[in-house]
Amino acid sequence: MLYSVKMRSAQGGPHEQGGRHISGAERILSEEKIEQAIVAMLHRAQKHQRGMADFISLKVEAVKTADIFYRPLLPLSSCQADSVMTGRKAAVEELVKAGVSTEAAAAGISRIINLRDSMRGAMLLDADTGLRVDSLGERGVRVSKMDCDNSERYEARLLEKGLFGDHVREALVLASKVVSAVGVVAELCWSDDPEYVTGYVASAKYGYKRIPVLKEYGNPIGGRVFFVEQGTDVQKLITYLQDQVVLIRPEDK
Ligand code: WAQ
Ligand code: MG
């Protein structure tokens, strides 16, 4: 039996009462790994770069094997960029390559830059017009119920590329789920952790493109934008992103 384990933490009360989002995490694990994961999540929430949480929610739910979707791990590669400006330029180029309009790509970047504070979830934007298509306001769409299929194998794959740590580990799984959704053209992301400036653009066509710098060091604003094809059933998409259990599998070499 597998379990979905989720954590979200906030400062100034629960998210739904206006608390400021501090951190979150989602895993799918077998029973014997739950305890360790919960302790790790708790520690993360308690001492986070973004500040001290005074609300921490941990949720454990059984997952029915029949409900699991398996999706491929996106191939990973990196862009060149040595400044915020060149990084954002690279992001626009990658988004346009993936099928997002220049206007929408620019809108995605400025939407993240102009956030008053980081959101818990992502904004869904129309890939042509750049207009927001979800109505979830400052909460956004929180992608959940995903993990890699085999942690040891996954981490070994990342290590082969010289990559390790929670940020990339979680982001690559999340992006692999997001771009597997019907209607998603591409994703843009950078972290809200002040010390983590690397971000990415992901698409089913071109995979996960790391961009070394997308914001200034010390900046606590980050975010995610999912660019959505026109005519997409947005409610169905949100349900897939939030509720569909997805395990990500590296493709055999
Ligand atoms: N679903 C939707 N949006 C989310 C989720 C989620 N599960 N988790 C985070 N976000 C949004 C939310 O607005 C956060 O403020 C923002 O994304 C950034 O989240 O080296 O660490 O967890 O290749 O801070 C990317 C680069 C790291 C990794 C991204 O994001 C690499 C990162 P963070
Ligand atoms: Mg963060």
pLDDT digits (tens, 9 = 90+) for 97-150: 999 999 999 999 999 999 999 999 999 999 999 999 999 999 999 999 999 999
User: Rounded to the nearest whole angstrom, what is the distance from the C-alpha of residue 48 to the centroid of ligand 2?
Assistant: 9
Residue 156: pLDDT band with limits 50, 70, 90: very high
Question: For all residues of the chain together, what is the average pLDDT?
Answer: 96
Identify which of 224, 225, 239 to mutate to test ligand 1's pocket (most ligand atoms within 8 A of the CB): 224
Whether 251 has a pLDDT exceeding 90, the answer reads: no
Q: Contact 135/106 with Cβ under 8 angstroms?
A: no
Q: Contact 183/189 with Cβ under 8 angstroms?
A: no
Whether 29 has a pLDDT exceeding 90, the answer reads: yes
Q: Contact 45/7 with Cβ under 8 angstroms?
A: yes
Q: Is 31 helix (H, G, I), strand (E, B) or coil?
A: helix
Is the Cβ atom of 189 under 6 angstroms away from ligand 1? Answer: yes
Q: Is 249 helix (H, G, I), strand (E, B) or coil?
A: strand
Residue 253: pLDDT band with limits 50, 70, 90: low
Residue 68: pLDDT band with limits 50, 70, 90: very high
Whether 252 has a pLDDT exceeding 80, the answer reads: no
Per-residue confidence (pLDDT) for residue 38, from 0 to 100: 97
Atom 8 of ligand 1, residue of closest alpha carbon? 121
141 CA to centre of own chain: 10
Whether 223 has a pLDDT exceeding 70, the answer reads: yes
Whether 12 has a pLDDT exceeding 70, the answer reads: yes
Total residues found in the chain within this entry: 253
Atom 23 of ligand 1, residue of closest alpha carbon? 168
Ligand having the closest approach to the CA of 147? 1
Is the Cβ atom of 210 under 6 angstroms away from ligand 1? Answer: yes
Greatest distance between any 2 Cα atoms in the chain? 48
- Cα 30 to Cα 65, 71, 191, 211, distances in angstroms: 11, 19, 28, 33
Q: Is 156 exposed, middle or buried (0-12, 13-18, 19+ CB in 10 A)?
A: exposed
Atom 16 of ligand 1, residue of closest alpha carbon? 223
Q: What percentage of the chain carries pLDDT values higher than 70?
A: 99
Give the residue from 168, 169, 167 showing the smallest Cα distance to 152.
169
